[in-house]
Structure 1
Amino acid sequence: MALVAFLALQPGRRASRERLAALLWPDADATQARLNLRKALSLLRKVTPDGDDLFRAQGEQIKLRADGLECDVDALEAATRAPVAVDAPVDDLTGELLQDFGIRDAYEFEAWTRVERQRIRELQLALLTRRLDSEIDTPAGAESAVRTALRILQIDPLQEGARRVLMTLHARQGRSAAAMEQYRELADLLHRELGAQPEEETRTLYQDITRQRRTRPAPSQTRPPRALRETPATTTPGKPPARRGHRIGIAASLLLAALAGSQFSVQQSPETVALGPLTTILASEEPTRPAVSPNGEWIAHISRRIHPGNLDIYLRTLSGGDPVRLTTDPALDDNPAWSADGRLLAFTRTPATGDAPCRIIVMAPPNGHERIVGACRAVSSTRLSWAPDGKSIYFADQAAPGLPTSLFRLDVETGRSRALTTSPAEIAGDEAPTISPDGKMLAFLRRTSWTAANVYVLDLTKGRTRQLTTDGRRIWGLTWDRTGKGVYFSSNRSGDTALWWAPARRTGEAKRISVGLLDFRLLTSARARDRLIFEAVSDYSDLVQADAAGVRRPIGDTPWPAEGYSDWFADVAADGSLVMVSDRDGSERLWIQGADHGQPTAASTILDAVLSEPRWSPDSRRIAFVATRDGGADLYVADRRTGRITPLTADDADDASPVWSHDGRHLYFTSRRGGFWRIWRMNADGSGATPFSLPGPRAVRIDSSGRIYAVLDGRQGVWRLSLLNDREAGPRQLIVADQQSWDWLNWDIDRRQLFYVQRSPDGLSGRIRRRDLAGGRDESLDETTDLLLLDAFAVRPDGSLLLTRRKYGTRLLATDLIRTP
């Protein structure tokens, strides 16, 4: 039942094997959990009519056929979205989702079930409230309004709007005693459950009814108040409401009977941590970089939009209210971090141009004096972490421009800093330090590429480093457990972006503690209590075409992916065909749309990797691209006709930015081999890789004359390389100065035209510009307010642009963690 129900309630009715295994068998090892999943699917296919067709395997994804189940909550969801009240099966749903059903020791599944039950209740309340308001507006609707109000109270006895409707209707009917009883029952519930009293509107209504009872009959013309304020249909952002299918119980009952004698139970862990109820702190269209105070009551965060044009730090409470602006400097203020006693706040400040090292500043919020306590050597931004004694701040920096980042400890009094780690020369480096509650261990991310990282801990007393994860996936957030026994981190290591916990002081596997309903990003935890603050993100995109006038339109018949799925990283072949990276079928792979702009088709097998930067060969037959898997970013080539994928590089360094020579015999690319970014060249089959440039280039392009252009690591602009004997030699020529180094993916060359991004310093606005490389003419083309920083646009043969249209939203949420012995 659990497996069928979970699939039926997911967007697209699909989930990855890893996600299902982790949810249903959380304490089994990965091999055993996947074996259990295979057994369960096999039994389901046997006991369910058309089981082989109902449960489909698509690579690492398991999909439940869309028309295979009838879900009554589908109608509930559709009715909630309707602009006017419509009939919906609200009254048919009298029980709880999966009522009286449970799986022993599957705590994640139990947490997921609790969230889904609450979501269904919210759906029912929203629809019943709409029905009640419409019944109040009709002269003959009193009887049905009473029934609806009682149904609302059956779901939530503390809904005061429904209580007020009942009180008014009873009074209108001359039943003032019944109206007063409704008030007394509410007051007693509020006192016992919340230690509160009824709202002022409810108290006033009660007083009016009491007074009218003493002086005259209850009013017959008084219109009942609206039942409730508008309530959202869901309590969790960015996800559709739960669906409970009619046929789930039949198939699942057979499954339970078949599994009765099987060994599907797992051992209970010594302590289980689960997410408690969620509280929304704010909703935004930008990252918030949150930092919670030690007592868990205050949140410091950043915003570019509250005061547009300036990146500042703001302070707010969990209880709501307007944020307090802490910084007003025209520079970019970022990365807030609280001292252990909650008295001071540290943050970084970078010049508005974003092209200089940051300074580390300390202040006493909300309006204390700012004091510069240190400076970065090379990086323009870094996360900060205070030592418990308040004497030191940990941060990430480069010993020199171009080197990998390392961790440093800053003495707050003297301003001196010293390195604590030295990361391998071929990788991006160490970042995101966070200190343990006792100050003895430093957790951090060792990033092998911009899409892959692992969690490490450094024992500050012994100087030893230990690796906690080894799969090299995307990791966004990292923070300590209040007990100091482990760390929380957000990662896509199970396919979706979930919340995980890893033991820091002993060996052991990381445990998933979220149920996959939210896409977790940055995390922060309170020192004094089990409170976790995190970003839940909705982030998806598609491709649009922009003509010379900047008018955007869809690309042929390419449909917008389902919400939560994306198309990005496009390139156009000489024959007009389009290749893009997409996860529209649940896994990242290459998709091709022909020159006729028809439906795209999958062009590659599933690699279980993060894909980026696809590039067509001159003959439109092959596609070179970057795939990050197992922590390493390497180059691959896909054959358009067969879909076969061949690896071209397999070294420890981060490889990127593939481009073909004009004859298709060679590939140029950038790599960190040797410790610095530079351009390399190899044969089209991956052999004969040799350095081509001097150190510095992060991305490379070639014009129609064979000239080589590059964006340099840590330096602004697009540069032309001087060549001698088919190698770089001599000075580089600056072609355009406005291209930011962190926009290294957002530029392209089509024949003799250079396309690049000119952004505002805060990154919120800007334009794509076109420069004639022969004549030098430079003109503005298209606004870039929604162009991803780490994405790429492409140029069609007709000179129009392919842009990534992004839909991004962030909710900052708070939860008090629940520990179960």
Structure 2
Amino acid sequence: MDRELARNQLRRILLSAEFVRAQRMSRFLSHVVEKSLLSDLDSLKERQIGISVFDRPEDWDPKLDNIVRSEARRLRAKLEAYAAANDPEERVRITIPKGSYIATFDVRNIPEPAIGRGPHDSPVLPQRTYIGRFRDARLWALGLALAVTFTACVGVLAAAHDYAVSANDRHRYGATWSIAPFAVDSGRQFSPDISPDGRLIAYVAVDADNGSSNSSDIIVRPATGGSATDLIHNGHYNLHPAWSPSGDRLAYLQKLDTESRLIISGRDGRSQRQVSSIHDATSEWTSSGPLADCQKLSWSRDGRSIYLTSQVADLPDYGIVSVSTADGRQHAVTMPPGVDQDCYARISPDGRTLAFARFISHGVSDIYVVSPEGGTPKRLTYVNSEIRGLDWSADGESIIYAVRDLNRSELRVLNVSTGSFGVLPLNSAWASDPVFSPASQSLAFVEQEDRWTIWRARLDHGHIEDAKPFLTTSGQNHSPSVSPDGKTVAFVSDRSGAPEIWFASPDGSQLRQMTHFGGPWLGTIRWSPDSSRIIFDARPGGHATIFMMAAEDSAPAPILQGDFECRRPSWSRRGDYIYYDSTSHGRSQLWTRSLPDAQSTVIGPSGSQDAQESKDGKDVFFLVQNPGSSSSLWKSSTAPGSKASPLSISPTPVLDWTVANDTLLYTQQHRDSFNLVSYDPRSRRSVVLGVMPQDLSPGTPSLAASPDGKWIFYAVVTHVRSDISLATAPR
């Protein structure tokens, strides 16, 4: 069974009228579906379901308590009611036959939509396959230009019936590739590009393991191994190397504070010249890191242009731009709507098509193609997940791309004509940024893994003391939020396989999962003044939607959603309305929403976002993002008609700030560490409380204070692995 297809159907069911307010039923169904997809039969036994879903103790005896059996009957009835009331043309029907707790998935043959439907339609998802069950051998034989031996292997398999590939199958067919580490030096290595003759690989190296070094170099090394040459080393951030079609030149970006310079150098690193300046602000919507970002340089086949991501003219859009290598003139190829961002530009082998990923929200993107001259892009995928790099096959019939699927990232191959795709079994859980070389029949890719941990520290007489991990686990944990009564810490963790909201006591005990969205991203958790409810943003349908949920035994209900972003909510001190930012009018803008009458009102300037009220409810603080510059904090009275004014404070990371009693707390990068700063709005004075030596997690509001102001919670990057591997097809 196609897991992605099944999980998409599960998300639809959980948001339906039958399930959206039934927290226990949603939890039960999510558990059954997920464990069935993983063939985890032990977790589908009655006793284990009682413990995992219904919080029964370890010594629970199902013979004395029939809760699982009785709730299973209710669950089957709800599934039948859903099937009767909803779209009869859904491709997947989920049922739980009597006599077991194993979910079955009935996949029906319904015509797929034409490629190029609108970005907000809900199309049938394309068929997913693995190498071990590919029906179209031509996709692999021509698409990847593999050798005769591998093509014959796939051809035999193409005649077989469709089946779910086991771990042994994955290992066996993955063994046809020769996979070896290429760049695994200390620090981080990323953004590889293979020279046209397949002999050299250029990539970026950062000395600091956490990526917070003040510079990065461009390294060139033979594809067969051997000594590396530090080609570009000048104390700046030198990023995104790209070989010219003839292989005699190398383009790269030199990142400065307010802009990036597009530079072309000779093959030996000499004869450098600046071609143009661009604005490629770091994206908060990818997990590729603050340096790798979602950028990629791609030369036209005649060498006259370079395609990359940049701010389009003076607009807030970040689209694909072509830059003339002769005179630096820029031409907008794509102009994404609203605050969407187009990333990872790649020109096809014949030079007639440009492929790219369009991000519509944090961790939500799909692949599009367009003419290099511009026009209306055509959408190829409907994964609504984080694309992490892409490249073309040798013949231009396929696109190799990396995509984050739950808490792993895998490489897939997409047939551009049919929309079907397969998974490359490369035995890597964190693959990104693939680059394919027709000359050497090799695939370079980055293996990147980031672990984020929430820490807790005590504020003692204005200083940071006793900092230690709040909870230890692998994966990503972020967005802590402390309830006003001080009894509960809410946070986001992917420890269950996908980002979900979890609750714990302030000492880390009584850990419990509260949501079951199944991805892709959620955050900005804020408590109501009475600690009875939380609001947050999540993306089960693509764009950010604001949900509200009772703190005890309740399912999240959407309260603000649309074909645009509704995100970063917070409560008024009275609890009768909420703040949020929306892109319904283009750029992000701050709104309020009255809960009694559901009326929304614009209150902030263009670029405003992420508001929090002061403790007395008299003032509201918020961020304002201006195109081409950093975000800064502003202040306004909550009285109607009040005028806002800037505070000259720019947190880094931008979302790490919070209201704490009578002051604002925020973080600010200082060299290779971060300072925790307290700002008094009355005296307008800032005081550094201490140093936070770890790298803070980007793109998340991950600084929170306890109600008494004695403790802070924050998310840090505790582990980073970013190495380059090389996979070679057999000859």
Name the TM-score, length of structure 2 as normaliser: 0.71
Change (3 A) 1:49 1:678: closer
Hey, what does 1:337 align to over in structure 2? 242
Residue 393 of structure 2, aligned match among 469, 481, 491: 481
Partners in 1 of 2:594 and 2:235 — Cα distance? 49
Per the alignment, in what secondary structure is the counterpart of residue 290 of structure 1? Answer: strand
For residues 37 and 497 of structure 2, the distance between their equivalents in structure 1, rounded to whole angstroms, comes to 22
Q: What one-letter code is carried by the residue in structure 2 that aligns with 1:602?
A: Q
Q: Is the 8 A contact 1:590 1:603 kept in 2?
A: yes
Alpha carbons 1:471, 1:493 under 8 Å: kept: no
Question: Is residue 491–residue 502 contact of structure 2 (8 Å, CA) maintained in 1?
Answer: yes
Q: Does the CA contact (< 8 Å) of 2:189 and 2:206 recur in 1?
A: no
Q: 1:414 to 1:536 in 2, by over 3 A?
A: same
The aligned amino acid for 1:524 is V
- Residue 777 of structure 1 deviates from its aligned partner by 3.7
Which of 572, 576, 589 is the aligned partner of 2:500? 589
C-alpha distance in 1 between matches for 2:391 and 2:52? 33
1:756 aligns with 2:666: yes
Name the counterpart of 1:796: 706
Q: 1:59 Cα deviation (Å)?
A: 11
Number of residue pairs aligned between Structure 1 and Structure 2: 578
Q: Do residues 521 (structure 1) and 432 (structure 2) align?
A: yes
Which residue in 1 is equivalent to 2:457?
Answer: 546
Which residue of 267, 292, 295 corresponds with 2:197? 295
**Structural RMSD (CA):** 3.8
The corresponding residue for 1:713 is 625
1:348 to 253, 256, 260: 253
Cross-structure match for 1:786: 695
- Residue 367 (structure 2) aligns with: 455
Q: Deviations over 1:646-682 (max 9, x none)?
A: 1022111122221111111111112222111111111
Matches within 5 A, 1:31-46: none
Q: Which residue of 2 aligns with 1:276?
A: 177
Equivalent residue, structure 2, for 1:664 = 575
Kept in 1, the 8 Å contact 2:7–2:518? The answer is no
Which amino acid in the other structure matches residue 310 of structure 2? Answer: D
Answer yes or no: is the 8 Å Cα contact 1:293–1:342 preserved in 2: yes
Deviation at 1:581, TM superposition (A): 0.8
Whichever residue aligns with residue 264 of structure 2, its letter is V
1:114-153 mapped onto 2 (5 Å cutoff):
none
Structure 1 unaligned blocks of 5 or more:
4-15, 23-36, 66-104, 112-261
CA distance in 2: counterparts of 1:273 and 1:727, whole angstroms: 64
The one of 292, 299, 304 equivalent to 1:391 is 304
Matches within 5 A, 1:3-18: 17-18=3-4
Q: Tell me which residue corresponds to 1:417.
A: 330
Displacement of 1:547 in angstroms is: 2.2
Q: Which of 659, 672, 676 matches 1:768?
A: 676
8 Å Cα contact 1:435/1:442 also seen in 2: yes
Corresponding position of 1:726: 640
Question: What amino acid is aligned across from residue 782 of structure 1 in structure 2?
Answer: V
- Deviation for aligned residue 1:697: 1.8
Alpha-carbon spacing, 1:551–1:814, altered in 2? closer, same or farther (3 Å): farther
The question of whether the paired residues in 2 share the 8 Å contact of 1:679 and 1:697 is answered with yes
Question: CA 1:465/1:19 → structure 2, altered by over 3 Å: closer, same or farther?
Answer: closer
Q: 1:531 aligns with which of 442, 456, 463?
A: 442
CA gap 1:58/1:503 in 2 versus in 1, 3 angstroms: farther
1:402–1:677 Cα contact (<8 Å) kept: no
User: How far apart are residue 590 of structure 1 and its match?
Assistant: 1.0
Once the two structures are TM-superposed, the CA of residue 458 in structure 1 deviates from its matched residue by 0.8
Distance 2:308 2:38 in 1: 52
Contact 2:624 / 2:634 at 8 angstroms: preserved in 1?
A: no
332-341 or 272-281: bigger deviation: 272-281
Structure 1 678/440 Cα, relative in aligned 2: closer, same or farther at 3 Å? same
Q: In structure 1, how many angstroms separate the alpha carbons of the residues matched to 2:6 and 2:447?
A: 21
**Cα 1:624–1:51 shift into 2, 3 Å:** closer
Quick one: distance in 2 between partners of 1:313 and 1:39? 43
Change (3 A) 1:264 1:392: closer
Counterpart-to-counterpart distance in 1, 2:37 and 2:675: 54
Structure 1 residue identity aligned to 2:404: N
Deviation at 1:521, TM superposition (A): 2.0
8 A Cα contact 2:129 2:421, kept in partner: no
2-structure distance, mates of 1:748, 1:487: 43
The 3 A distance-change label for structure 1 pair 343 and 663 is same
Q: Which amino acid aligns with 1:364?
A: G
**RCO comparison, higher one (Cα < 8 Å, 6+):** 2
How far did residue 282 of structure 1 move? 2.1
Counterpart residue type for residue 695 of structure 1: S
Does the CA-based 8 Å contact 1:649-1:686 persist in structure 2?
A: no
Distance 2:465 2:45 in 1: 47
Match of 1:437 in 2: 349
Structure 1 residue 392 displacement after superposition = 0.6
Provide structure 2 residue ranges, at least 5 long, that are not aligned to the other structure: 9-31, 59-127, 135-159, 166-172, 283-292
CA pair 698-401 structure 1, distance change in 2 beyond 3 A:
farther
- On the 8 A contact 1:316/1:323 being kept in 2, the answer is yes
CA-to-partner distance for each residue in 1:686-729, whole Å, 9 max, x for gaps? 92222111102243232224322222224335332345852563
Residue 809 (1) aligns with residue 710 (2) = no
Deviation sequence 1:231-283 (CA, Å, 0-9, x none): xxxxxxxxxxxxxxxxxxxxxxxxxxxxxxx986599xxxx998712111123
The answer to whether residue 651 in structure 2 is matched with residue 746 in structure 1 is no
How far the C-alpha of 1:350 sits from its partner, in A, is 2.5
- Structure label with greater radius of gyration: 1
Identify the residue that residue 185 of structure 1 maps to in structure 2: none
Deviation at 1:542, TM superposition (A): 2.2
CA distance in 2 between counterparts of 1:316 and 1:437 reads 24
Deviations 1:302-350 (A, max 9, x none): 2331795322322223344453222233332212111112111111122
Identity of aligned residues (%): 21
Q: 1:786 to 1:759 in 2, by over 3 A?
A: same
Residue aligning to 2:423? 512
Structure 2: distance between partners of 1:487 and 1:646: 38
- Name the structure 1 match of 2:536: 625
Cα–Cα, structure 1 residues 391 and 40, in superposed 2: closer, same or farther, change >3 Å? same
2:480 equivalent to 1:570? yes
Report the CA distance shift for 1:435/1:683 in structure 2 as closer, same or farther (over 3 A): same
1:284-310 deviations in Å (ceiling 9; x for gaps): 543622222223332222233179532
Per-residue deviation, residues 550-572 of structure 1 (Å, max 9, x unmatched): 3454467x4x22x4x33221111
Question: Which whole-Å CA distance do the structure 1 matches of 2:406 and 2:477 have between them?
Answer: 21
- 1:370 lines up with 2:272 in the alignment: yes
Cα 1:686–1:484 change in 2 (3 A) is farther
What SS class does the counterpart of residue 585 from structure 2 fall into? helix
The amino acid of 1:443's aligned partner reads A
Deviation string 1:198-247 (CA, Å, 9 cap, x unpaired) is xxxxxxxxxxxxxxxxxxxxxxxxxxxxxxxxxxxxxxxxxxxxxxxxxx
SS of the residue aligned with 1:497?
Answer: strand
Return closer, same or farther for 1:360/1:648 CA change in 2, 3 Å cut-off. Answer: same
Q: Secondary structure at the match of 2:45?
A: helix
Partner-residue secondary structure (3-state), 1:550: strand
Q: Is the 8 A contact 1:482 1:529 kept in 2?
A: no
Q: Where does residue 379 of structure 2 map in the other structure?
A: 467
Q: Render the CA deviation track for 1:774-816: whole Å, top value 9, x for unaligned.
A: 3314214232432112231211233322122322212210101
Q: Distance in 2 between matches of 1:515 and 1:58?
A: 36
Letter in 2 for 1:406: G
Could you tell me how far 1:464 is from its partner in structure 2? 4.5
